[in-house]
Amino acid sequence: MANCITRHIPNTVTCCNLICGCIASVMAFQARYDMAIIFIIIGAVFDFFDGMLARLFKVSGPLGKELDSLADDITFGFAPSVIVFSLFKEVHYPEFLQSMADFIPYTAFLISAFSALRLGKFNIDPRQSTSFIGMPTPANALFWGSLVVGGHDFLVSESFNAIYLFALVILMSYLLIAEIPMFSLKFKNLTWKDNKVSYIFLLVCIPLLIIFRISGFAAIILWYILLSLITRKKA
């Protein structure tokens, strides 16, 4: 009886992640960006624990792997797409783009498509067992959520417009599938020598959060990308 229950626990946790992504998407459609990012973060917590529980109970299998990717594309692909979709409805459009203002918001769903590609590549790429190739989908979701919540007033001002937002969508979508090695924060031990990059990353994160507050998470993702590029060049 115990085995019958425990083997379903990891997939149940994965489904909780998926449900959080669905709720985050509803919040985003209503332009309740603060609630959307809260549910994305809760989904990320579930995503962290489902794999851990599968290993703990020794019930890892192909179903869990496929379900995890599906849940991740909802929480970290579709939900941030809806955040950007709703933001496109609010941003300033230059006069020459006014006639396309009803159509441009749908370009936000490129994030969902490229997130699915990213997750599919991750599942079949043996190089990503200890690090990442391309930006992880949770990082992309956190970037968009924190950027929109923390920088909303600027993003909807005349200092920013739909062209910049579209360019950012293209850039972040590309980074999801780019052949760029990105480090993992998994610590095998606590020594400086073996974890120097991770320690440098974490030390810089503290002032970024203090200075930029909620937008600091978006700044942290940009710092993560930059540090990955720097360490790649040195490798």
pLDDT tens-digit series, residues 35-61: 999 999 999 999 988 777 777 767 677
Range of weakest confidence among 58-67, 68-77, 198-207: 58-67
All residues at 6 or more sequence positions from 151 whose CB lies less than 8 Å from its CB, including other chains: 215, 218
* Angstrom distance (rounded) from CA 200 to CA 221: 14
Q: What is the arithmetic mean of pLDDT over 160-166? A: 97
Q: Which amino acid is at 81?
A: S
DSSP string, the chain: -HHHHHTTHHHHHHHHHHHHHHHHHHHHHTT-HHHHHHHHHHHHHHHHHHHHHHHHHT---HHHHHHHHHHHHIIIIIHHHHHHHHHHTTS---GGGGGGTTTGGGGGGHHHHHHHHHHHHHHH-GGGSSSEES--HHHHHHHHHHHHHHTHHHHTSTTS-HHHHHHHHHHHHHHHH-S-EE-----SS--HHHHHHHHHHHHHHHHHHHHHGGGHHHHHHHHHHHHHHHHHHH-
* Angstrom distance (rounded) from CA 45 to CA 114: 22
Determine the topology of domain 2-180 in CATH: Four Helix Bundle (Hemerythrin (Met), subunit A) (1.20.120)
Q: What is the arithmetic mean of pLDDT over 10-16? A: 91
Q: Is the pLDDT confidence value at 224 over 50?
A: yes
pTM: 0.90
Domain definitions of the chain by residue range: 2-180
Q: Is the pLDDT confidence value at 1 over 60?
A: no
Q: Which of 45, 59, 56 is nearest to 11 (CA)?
A: 59
Q: Which amino acid is at 217?
A: F
What band does 3 get if pLDDT is binned at 50, 70 and 90? low
**Highest mean pLDDT: which range of 60-69, 104-113, 179-188:** 104-113
Q: State CA 227 to chain mean position distance.
A: 17
What pLDDT is attached to residue 106?
98
In the chain, the largest separation of any two C-alpha atoms, in whole Å, equals 66
Residues 128-151 have pLDDT tens digits of 666 788 999 999 999 999 999 999
